[in-house]
Structure 1
């Protein structure tokens, strides 16, 4: 089994065979801007694999050296307990925050929380309980929840009532630990038939659940497709938004590759006093090392406000 010391002080040596991969990280070019970004952007695993190698540990170190202050991993709950601890300790050593991870199994074609069926309720609540422990290990505060597919045999109000009821029970689990599930509306093009699609719908549910542990994940990519009107909607639902995710449209690549004026959107979010994480949940427009440099450059360009 491969072992390595990854903390700067060299105190901790932990088994990390599933996280290491091929070593490829090199120190950044001193001529490149490595200052912390003005906003807390969080890259995903493998976003910089051509620059840092296949080792997730080296990738996170690369992110930190390039000025990123957070890391986001949808699949964190699927990683081993040891790997969750290793990543949490690494992020802590680098003074980086852990962003969202997906808290439960998402059913893309079957009604789950909307149905009110006991087997889905029990499964979801068990996942939330398990996610509390995942969050503790990796240092996360937020976790993504997607209520699942529409139940075409029930009126919308009935489905909404079922979802609110189960989310209230989940909040009873999360509140004592100061953890937050963030509800993510998904667009109709990439995810047809999902129950939660609009920011106004997520706002209605959060107001009804009425808990600090149930908030909105405003994915700018999804909401550009579903409803547009980004800045006014961010203003309208601001008090329930706890997290943002990013992707340009069309293509779901880095900012500046599509139609969204991210410079204005980010400036507006920052001017409202947002101090949270913005997850970089998108692909790279060019899949090589030069493309990774372009991703970093794009984020520099859309976060330099006059």
Structure 2
């Protein structure tokens, strides 16, 4: 008798799922989805970061990112990808509910050029690349693009160099602003030869350009190396920040692998953004500390740990 009751109960349960049809699969899918990492911030990996787990196919990698709770993508090299690939990336991001982070406005020389010099050839190439970037942004649903003014010009006073950069960025904003696009200037730490290195310097340029299309990319790895006191400095320039990037120091790897307290920084950014009704994409512009699939799982766990506040 007990066996008969158990059989009937099991049969009713199975029949219920059959009766639900696709809804039964939907319930299972929603349960699976609920088990993803529910990150508080929009962390954005880049292609190749999870290639050992997802394979070389870009779209399998996007699916893996979404399956693990990463709901944004960063792709510095988007501008140089084939047009059809740009379109498909945009379509896939939309399908997965992911957002597109930055790509680089790279005119071939990138930061090795010098807008600070005021030389027409650098300016013309930069503006040409800005126009190309508008079309790329439309294809992949991007809003933000990284710009860097390039090398310091030793033969010119600092004020003249700054004026040259402001002029170049104002002209770039004439290109981006009608499309609602935002170029985010990034102070860098790669070499002392670079013109733009600090957050306050970036803030001055943003205020002078005076456009919603000119903002700051606050890369916490670069800023740790160049100026430190990150919460103080990001608060000082907060109203001009539109984008953040991540990398621990030393090594420029994932959070928890170096000296930067990303758990503290992420909470600070989250709380301040929430209070101001803002949302930031957090670009994961760093390498993997550990190799292979195991290293990729450690990277994910590092973000779970750093996002636990």
TM tier, smaller: 0.7 to 0.9
**Distance across 2 between alignment mates of 1:272 and 1:236:** 13
From the superposition, tell whether residues 82 and 31 of structure 1 become closer, same or farther in structure 2 (CA, over 3 Å): closer
Could you tell me which of 126, 129, 132 is aligned with 2:128?
A: 126
After TM superposition, list the pairs within 5 Å mapping 1:92-107 onto structure 2: 92-105=94-107, 107=109
Shift of 1:32: 10
Shift of 1:52: 0.4
Structure 2's unaligned 5+ residue stretches are 1-28
Answer yes or no: is 1:141 the counterpart of 2:143.
Answer: yes
Structure with the greater alpha carbon radius of gyration: 2
**Distance across 2 between alignment mates of 1:290 and 1:103:** 34
Q: Deviations over 1:163-191 (max 9, x none)?
A: 0001001001111100000000001xx33
**Distance across 1 between alignment mates of 2:301 and 2:34:** 10
After TM superposition, list the pairs within 5 Å mapping 1:6-155 onto structure 2: 33-105=35-107, 107=109, 110-155=112-157
Shift of 1:120: 1.1
Shift of 1:35: 3.2
Question: Relative to total residues, which structure has the larger helix share, 1 or 2?
Answer: 2
After TM superposition, list the pairs within 5 Å mapping 1:235-254 onto structure 2: 235-254=235-254
Contact 1:107 1:149 in 2 (8 A): no
From the superposition, tell whether residues 85 and 304 of structure 1 become closer, same or farther in structure 2 (CA, over 3 Å): same
Structure 1's unaligned 5+ residue stretches are 1-26
Q: Deviations over 1:246-286 (max 9, x none)?
A: 00000000000000000000000001024110000000000
2:306 is aligned to 302
1:261 is aligned to 261
From the superposition, tell whether residues 302 and 97 of structure 1 become closer, same or farther in structure 2 (CA, over 3 Å): same
Aligned residues: 275
Superposed CA RMSD: 1.7
User: Secondary structure of the residue that 2:234 maps to in structure 1?
Assistant: helix
1:228 is aligned to 228
**Distance across 2 between alignment mates of 1:50 and 1:107:** 31
Instruction: Give the structure-1-normalised TM-score.
Output: 0.87
Could you tell me which of 283, 286, 290 is aligned with 2:287?
A: 283
